[in-house]
Amino acid sequence: MRTKITGTGMYVPDRVVTNDDLAQWMDTSDEWIQQRTGILERRWIGPDQQPADLAERACRQALDAAGLEPNDIDCILLGTLSSQADFPGTSFFLQHKLGLEDTPCMDVRAQCSGFLYMLQLADALIRAGTHRKMLVVGCEVHSTGLDISTRGRDVTVIFGDGSGAVVLEASEEEGDAPGILEVRIHSQGEHAKRLWVEAPGSGISPSRLTHEMIDDGRVFPHMEGRFVFKHAVTRMPEVLLETLDAASLKIEDVDLFLFHQANLRINEFVAGKLEIPEDKLFNNIMSYGNCSAAAIPMLLHETQANGMLTPGKLVSMTAFGAGFSWASAVARW
């Protein structure tokens, strides 16, 4: 028994926010953002859009690609760090939008590594026979939680809104058949506060949210950018090699490398360190910014659509993010 990806989908809102747009609200520039991050523009939701709307569009596209209806799905996993409400998770709003009545769903909170964490979980559930058809979706709406003044510029310029989804199905095919080969995941809570949104949080008493916290900007993401960068360029190659090794594969065997889209410089650095040729790497951060848990399924969808990911190809996916959390997976398409 193995787990096969049978459909992909993605959705980003129509509203394009360029670097020049951001420069109207804060002290930044197109030149700084492009040089430091590689980002040209990102998408932000429109006035009436919510996370579950984005997720629904991505899921319906993935279901169509797999030739399935929502009712065929046994379980939904949704990765996000920007949940639609404090509780319940976005997955419950999504499940209702898909017209489902009692299909189980849950949110997974592993930030930018969330999609790969879910892939490991879903693979285990499918191999164990617990579920046969699963939807795994990453969905982020960062734009409503960003500090758009100069105070928040280091974080605000990198994030974008978007959603990506895959359908996973049990497969009995053997040998070199398509499927997830290995997934490895790691975390280091020691650095939880190096990239976090503190409030509202039940760790703050007697009240998780006060006017003062809002005024002090504790409701916005805070990041020690250089520290995060240094850890990302160390952990990503480490876990990528660990995962390939577990699958008895080498860098040269892989046809396509997909890295989390937090900063183009991080990805160039990792590719350089591992001597990955440029034509085996695909990035889309230029157009969408950092969509956290949605980034990898969005890459899967785009590379399938542009013909880079065709049957038989080996694809390696690697992410690093808040927590800290990092993970890698390798699959045959």
Query: Could you list the residues that contact ligand UT7 (CB under 6 A)?
Result: 28, 32, 36-37, 112, 153-154, 157-158, 225-226, 228-229, 232, 262-263, 266, 290, 321-322
Cα torsion 212, 150, 295, 162 to 10°: value is 80
**Residues 115/136, Cβ–Cβ less than 8 Å:** yes
The single residue listed with the structure tokens 């976090």 is 196
Which of 36/133 has CB closer to ligand UT7? 36
| Distance, first Cα to last Cα, the chain | 16
DSSP 290: B
DSSP 8-state code for residue 145: G
260 a catalytic residue: yes
Residue 58 CB, nearest approach to ligand UT7 (Å): 19
Nearer to ligand UT7, 27 or 245 (CB): 27
Which of the residues 260, 263, 267, 283 is marked catalytic?
Answer: 260
DSSP strand E in 193-269: where? 195-196, 222-223, 256-259
CB of 291 to ligand UT7, least distance (A): 9
Which helix (H) or strand (E) segment holds residue 276: the answer is none
Long-range interactions of 248-253: CB distance < 8 A, separation 24+: 249/181, 249/314, 249/330, 251/275, 251/276, 253/314
Q: Give me Rg for the CA atoms of the chain.
A: 19
Q: Which is nearer to ligand UT7, 70 or 321 (CB)?
A: 321
Instruction: Identify which of residues 112 and 240 has a Cβ nearer to ligand UT7 in the complex.
Output: 112
Give catalytic status of residue 290 as yes or no.
Answer: yes
Query: What minimum distance in Å lies between the beta carbon of 327 and ligand UT7?
Result: 13
Catalytic residue among 59, 75, 105, 112: 112
In the complex, what is the shortest distance from the CB of residue 311 to ligand UT7, in angstroms, rounded to a whole number? 31
Instruction: Give the SS3 label for residue 60.
Output: helix
- Closest to ligand UT7 by CB, 72 or 147: 147
Residue that is written with structure tokens 């974008």 in the block: 160
Residue from 131, 290, 291, 301 carrying the catalytic annotation? 290
| Beta carbon of residue 238, minimum distance to ligand UT7 (angstroms, whole number) | 15
Instruction: Dump the DSSP string for 91-103.
Output: HHHHHHHTT-SS-
Beta carbon of residue 97, minimum distance to ligand UT7 (angstroms, whole number):
27
- Residues 263 and 231: their CA atoms lie apart, in Å, by 13
Nearest residue (CB) to ligand UT7, 149 versus 306: 149
Q: What single-letter amino acid sits at 63?
A: L
For residue 107, with 0-12 CB atoms within 10 Å meaning exposed, 13-18 middle and 19 or more buried, which class applies?
Answer: buried
Catalytic residues, by residue number, are 112, 260, 290
